[in-house]
Structure 1
Amino acid sequence: MLDANLTQQLKAYLVNIREPIELVASLDDGAKSRELGELLGEIAALSDKVTVVRADDDARRPSFLVRRVGTDIGVRFAGIPLGHEFTSLVLALLHVGGHPSKAAQEVIEQVKALEGQHHFETYFSLTCQNCPDVVQALNLMAVLNPGITHTAIDGGLFKDEVEARQIMAVPTVFLNGEPFGQGRMELEQIVARLDSGADKRAAEAIAKKEPFDVLVVGGGPAGAAAAIYAARKGIRVGLAAERFGGQVLDTMAIENFISVPYTEGPKLAAHLEQHVREYDVDIMNLQRAEALVPAGREGGLHEVKLANGASLKARTVILSTGARWRTMNVPGEAEYRNKGVAYCPHCDGPLFKGKRVAVIGGGNSGVEAAIDLAGIVAHVTLIEYDSQLRADAVLQRKLASLNNVKIITSALTTEVHGDGQKVTGLSYKDRNHDTMHQVELEGIFVQIGLVPNTEWLKDAVALTPRGEIEIDHRGETSQPGVFAAGDATTEPYKQIVVAMGAGSTAALSAFDYLIRLPAELSEAA
């Protein structure tokens, strides 16, 4: 099951196990159970602190419990956690085995203090890059708190459960048998939902902070670069982000980041955060900005108001709030989001195996999605508003070679149809002949570009009709002392490497602005 490279990596990690653990297997006579049994045996052979026990005491098969010997501390996997979940398996072995987590100590204490019984189930896909964070967070919580249990379930192996629970997006989390959440969630987010006083405490702590020299709003590539470049100047830097990593967290393969031939979004986001934390930057994660109040005079303090009621002040601000997936904004789309309407083909594609789906959008993202899905689903209908596809020629040639893909151009999607529980089809208008058509299908993947996260900046800085922040070559906005970088701006190329450069430019410009302030204004601020 494990190749030589994975075997060596795992053996090196297992050295860190402090307490003996056992892998308690529930298997049947199927091929997947044989595969799991082989995997568990290979793991146990790498450490004298790991043993395999055959119990067959769980209804889900194949599954196994990672348990600390002689205790109730453990987590369960239903399925074979390889692919994107291999890291989840490694961390489960380490944490159940007594190796300490790298999570912030205050969050660990918060988890330990949670009261009540919380039984979590997470449905994941082995191709989902967002699932591991959720699985790993809940696994850690189960290790830290005896009132918490967690089972991670491969939706591709337990299709009957997926159908019965009408799961059409991953990760999907249930708490005590009831829906808890869908999509990427970090440990802090999950804990905050369970701890009703967390938001208030965070607001109180933020309200006590002194003004920053530079406040970065947004934690994607542009924000991370801005924070690092500003911190290296030896000034007081803060970073407030709704989620550190931004849209990079939703990106699968990254093959154009110079000097790194291949990486994946979550891995890059983790490296960004690690790099920022090497500097004296006050990181305030899970904080959504709701308003910017520019300084009333040159050298004054700008104010950023947060959703939790607190506010931050700074002599300069760098806006790097990025962008989000554009929606079709048609009837039925919001109603059937995560019930057949999806935005991540890598994450949710396996849930539509053997079914009919549509991809909306004929750019690179749309065509790449159609190609990927064609290898999983029964049929793909690609719908493009323009008269021709806009994707690169090499992608179009690949798409044209697939016999289970239909391409419809000059088409406007007008409505998503469903039966109240899931998607059943869509309607589109033929723009050439002004006629309406309906397509019966089970899934719709929307890939029509991005919308800047700038609604909260209306009337604070100049925005284009598209909502992009207007900036000059130095990254400065219409407000002195307020800079911006990344996908939220008028920068025409929405690329990770471009955003990093823009974030660096904005930070250097902010520092230049600060040192050129008249001494009396600087002191007054």
Structure 2
Amino acid sequence: MLDADLKSQLKAYLEKVVQPIELVASLDDSAAAREMRALLQDIVSLSDKITLVERHDDNVRKPSFSINRPGTDIGVRFAGVPMGHEFTSLVLALLQVGGHTIRLDDAVIEQVRQLDGDFNFETFISLSCHNCPEVVQALNAMAVINPRIKVTTIDGGVFPQEVEARQIMAVPMMFLNGEHFGQGRTSVEEILAKLDKNAGARQAAELNKKDVFDVLIVGGGPAGAAAAIYAARKGIKTGVLADRFGGQVLDTLSIENFVSIKETEGPKFAVALEQHVKHYEVDIMNTQRASKLVPGKLIEVQTESGATLKSKSVIVATGARWREVNVPGEKEYRNHGVAYCPHCDGPLFKGKRVAVIGGGNSGVEAAIDLAGIVSHVTLLEFGAELRADAVLQRKLRSLANVTVIVSAQTTEIHGDGQKVNGLSYTDRVSGAAHKVELEGVFVQIGLVPNTEWLKGTVALSRHGEIEVDARGQTSVPGVFAAGDVTTVPFKQIVIAVGEGAKAALSAFDHLIRADDSTEAAPLASAA
């Protein structure tokens, strides 16, 4: 099952296992079961601390296997063969069940340990989903910490009937004790916030105790990370308030244009960003969303959790999110046929008909990828011609199961009350109305800046972007901005990083030039 190189790497990891592990397989006669048996046999051959048993259990999915610590209630289960993006999840599960250190903050580990109740999680994933591993790894770690948490990771491609029965049209999708719990990339902290109802109030109380920052960065994407590094290197008190560290990069599959890095994946890049920031004395406040900016001698940033942070300067780097079509049916059928990530959710539409809205690079790339999975792709572009690079357009038009329609204005997404079954559009040239029968709609029409919380405070463009000058300064003294949230053209990671660094340097310059009466950063910080 595993090639020689992968076996060699896995063997080195398994040397870190300190507790015995028992792999318990429940198999059938399927091809997936044969792959699973081969994978488990390979694992067992690499460590004398791991044993394999096969048991016939009518109460569990087949094929599936659990990773158990004998003599305890600690264990996790995989229903399907965890390869692709989930191979790392498998390795981590083996190490953690085997007693290796779980890399979470002590406070988070204690919060998981103190959860009161029995929690049975089922998470549906696809092996091509780059957002799924974070959820799988978060829940697996929680199950090892607290044995009252039971987790099963289910590959939707191996259990299509269950996917159909539960109307799962987006991954990762979590169920808790049989009820829908959430979907999309989710961290341990975010899961805890939903399970522990008092967590928000406690976190707000802790944030309210924090001293005044010299610079507070709102946003943890590339721009925010770069700003944090450059600010911290100046020796000033630096904080990062982030909804999720990594930002939009976490939803990016492939990065091939960041200078000095030939190729990487978004989640890996985000981890590298966070590790670099943590190398310095930066106070990272994760899973926190800003709700209001209050200008003043000391600038206040209020959070949705009820906390108020104060800082002598602020850098806004809240980035952008997927733009919605804003037509009837889009919100109603989101995650029930309306999707925004073709890599994550595409496999759930195998053999079905789908539409892609958007003819830029993202839309055309999505259509090309989906064409290899679904029965037919209809690409709708609002303009008179596609906007994607010529090489992508040539590839798209070579595909027999793709129809391209330009000058098409999407007017409605239809459904049967449970899932999508069609889409209507108007021909912008003739005015004729058309309806396409299909099962999925992938929206790829660009980004919208995350600035709703700033309206009425800083000057925004007609597109909602923060207006900045050449130094990253906004219309409010002491408030700077960087990255995709600003009017700076060309929304690229490398540009966001540069703008974040520039904003930090500008904020530092603002602090050392400020009069002492404004309680600006001490001049000693400039040394």
Same fold (TM > 0.5): yes
Structure 1: which amino acid aligns with 2:319?
Answer: G
Q: CA deviation at 1:5?
A: 2.7
Matched, 1:68 2:59: no
Is the deviation greater in 273-282 or in 515-524? 515-524
Matched, 1:325 2:326: no
Q: CA deviation at 1:519?
A: 2.9
Q: CA deviation at 1:56?
A: 2.7
Aligned residue among 420, 426, 447 for 1:429: 426
Question: Counterparts of 1:24 and 1:56 in 2: how far apart (Å)?
Answer: 10
The answer for the alignment partner of 1:471 in structure 2 is: 468
Aligned residue among 296, 307, 310 for 1:310: 307
The answer for the alignment partner of 1:520 in structure 2 is: 517
Q: CA deviation at 1:149?
A: 0.2
Question: Counterparts of 1:374 and 1:490 in 2: how far apart (Å)?
Answer: 35
The answer for the alignment partner of 1:260 in structure 2 is: 261
- 1:486-501 alignment to 2 at 5 Å? 486-501=483-498
The answer for the alignment partner of 1:447 in structure 2 is: 444
Matched, 1:125 2:149: no
The answer for the alignment partner of 1:27 in structure 2 is: 27
- 1:97-246 alignment to 2 at 5 Å? 97-246=98-247
Question: Counterparts of 2:513 and 2:8 in 1: how far apart (Å)?
Answer: 55
Q: CA deviation at 1:524?
A: 10
Question: Counterparts of 1:111 and 1:306 in 2: how far apart (Å)?
Answer: 24
Aligned residue among 366, 383, 386 for 2:383: 386
Structure 2: which amino acid aligns with 1:132?
Answer: P
Q: CA deviation at 1:142?
A: 1.1
The answer for the alignment partner of 1:42 in structure 2 is: 42
SS in 2 for 1:426: strand
Question: Counterparts of 1:159 and 1:90 in 2: how far apart (Å)?
Answer: 25
Structure 1: which amino acid aligns with 2:509?
Answer: D
Question: Does structure 1 conserve the Cα–Cα contact (< 8 Å) formed by 2:214 and 2:521?
Answer: no
- 1:270-281 alignment to 2 at 5 Å? 270-281=271-282
Could you say if the C-alpha distance between residues 246 and 511 of structure 1 is closer, same or farther in structure 2, counting changes exceeding 3 Å? same
Q: CA deviation at 1:70?
A: 2.3
The answer for the alignment partner of 1:484 in structure 2 is: 481
> Identity over the aligned pairs, expressed in percent?
68
Residues 68-118 of structure 1 show CA distances to partners (whole Å, capped at 9, x for unaligned) of 122221000000001110110011001111111011110100001001111
The answer for the alignment partner of 1:338 in structure 2 is: 335
Matched, 1:301 2:286: no
Structure 2: which amino acid aligns with 1:462?
Answer: A
Question: Counterparts of 1:28 and 1:348 in 2: how far apart (Å)?
Answer: 27
Residues 146-199 of structure 1 show CA distances to partners (whole Å, capped at 9, x for unaligned) of 211000000011000000001000001110111111111100010111111100
Extract unaligned runs of 5+ from structure 2.
523-527
Residues 290-325 of structure 1 show CA distances to partners (whole Å, capped at 9, x for unaligned) of 111111xxxx21111111111111001000000000
Structure 2: which amino acid aligns with 1:382?
Answer: L
SS in 1 for 2:65: strand
Could you say if the C-alpha distance between residues 67 and 479 of structure 1 is closer, same or farther in structure 2, counting changes exceeding 3 Å? same
Structure 1: which amino acid aligns with 2:174?
Answer: V
Residues 253-291 of structure 1 show CA distances to partners (whole Å, capped at 9, x for unaligned) of 111111111111111111111111111111100111011
Structure 2: which amino acid aligns with 1:49?
Answer: K
Structure 2: which amino acid aligns with 1:265?
Answer: G
Is the deviation greater in 179-188 or in 7-16? 7-16
Could you say if the C-alpha distance between residues 377 and 36 of structure 1 is closer, same or farther in structure 2, counting changes exceeding 3 Å? same
SS in 1 for 2:154: strand
Could you say if the C-alpha distance between residues 257 and 524 of structure 1 is closer, same or farther in structure 2, counting changes exceeding 3 Å? closer
SS in 2 for 1:212: coil
Question: Counterparts of 2:189 and 2:197 in 1: how far apart (Å)?
Answer: 13
TM-score, normalisation: structure 1: 0.98
Structure 1: which amino acid aligns with 2:47?
Answer: S
SS in 2 for 1:179: strand
Question: Counterparts of 2:287 and 2:32 in 1: how far apart (Å)?
Answer: 39
SS in 2 for 1:100: coil
The answer for the alignment partner of 1:459 in structure 2 is: 456
Structure 2: which amino acid aligns with 1:60?
Answer: R
Question: Counterparts of 1:162 and 1:246 in 2: how far apart (Å)?
Answer: 29
Structure 1: which amino acid aligns with 2:342?
Answer: P
Could you say if the C-alpha distance between residues 166 and 480 of structure 1 is closer, same or farther in structure 2, counting changes exceeding 3 Å? same
The answer for the alignment partner of 2:15 in structure 1 is: 15
- 1:357-372 alignment to 2 at 5 Å? 357-372=354-369
Residues 353-375 of structure 1 show CA distances to partners (whole Å, capped at 9, x for unaligned) of 00000000000000000000000
Question: Counterparts of 2:395 and 2:52 in 1: how far apart (Å)?
Answer: 46
Question: Counterparts of 1:428 and 1:109 in 2: how far apart (Å)?
Answer: 53
Q: CA deviation at 1:3?
A: 2.2
Question: Counterparts of 2:521 and 2:161 in 1: how far apart (Å)?
Answer: 66
CA RMSD across the alignment: 1.1
Question: Does structure 1 conserve the Cα–Cα contact (< 8 Å) formed by 2:236 and 2:521?
Answer: no
Aligned residue among 363, 371, 374 for 1:377: 374
Question: Does structure 1 conserve the Cα–Cα contact (< 8 Å) formed by 2:356 and 2:366?
Answer: yes
Question: Counterparts of 1:275 and 1:454 in 2: how far apart (Å)?
Answer: 27
Question: Counterparts of 1:8 and 1:386 in 2: how far apart (Å)?
Answer: 52
SS in 2 for 1:487: helix
Structure 2: which amino acid aligns with 1:460?
Answer: T
SS in 1 for 2:25: strand
Q: CA deviation at 1:523?
A: 6.1
Q: CA deviation at 1:494?
A: 0.5
The answer for the alignment partner of 2:525 in structure 1 is: none
Question: Counterparts of 1:8 and 1:396 in 2: how far apart (Å)?
Answer: 41
Q: CA deviation at 1:27?
A: 1.0
SS in 1 for 2:485: coil
SS in 2 for 1:444: strand
Q: CA deviation at 1:328?
A: 0.3
Could you say if the C-alpha distance between residues 520 and 59 of structure 1 is closer, same or farther in structure 2, counting changes exceeding 3 Å? closer
Residues 5-58 of structure 1 show CA distances to partners (whole Å, capped at 9, x for unaligned) of 322221111111110101111111221111111110111111111111111325
Question: Counterparts of 1:301 and 1:116 in 2: how far apart (Å)?
Answer: 43
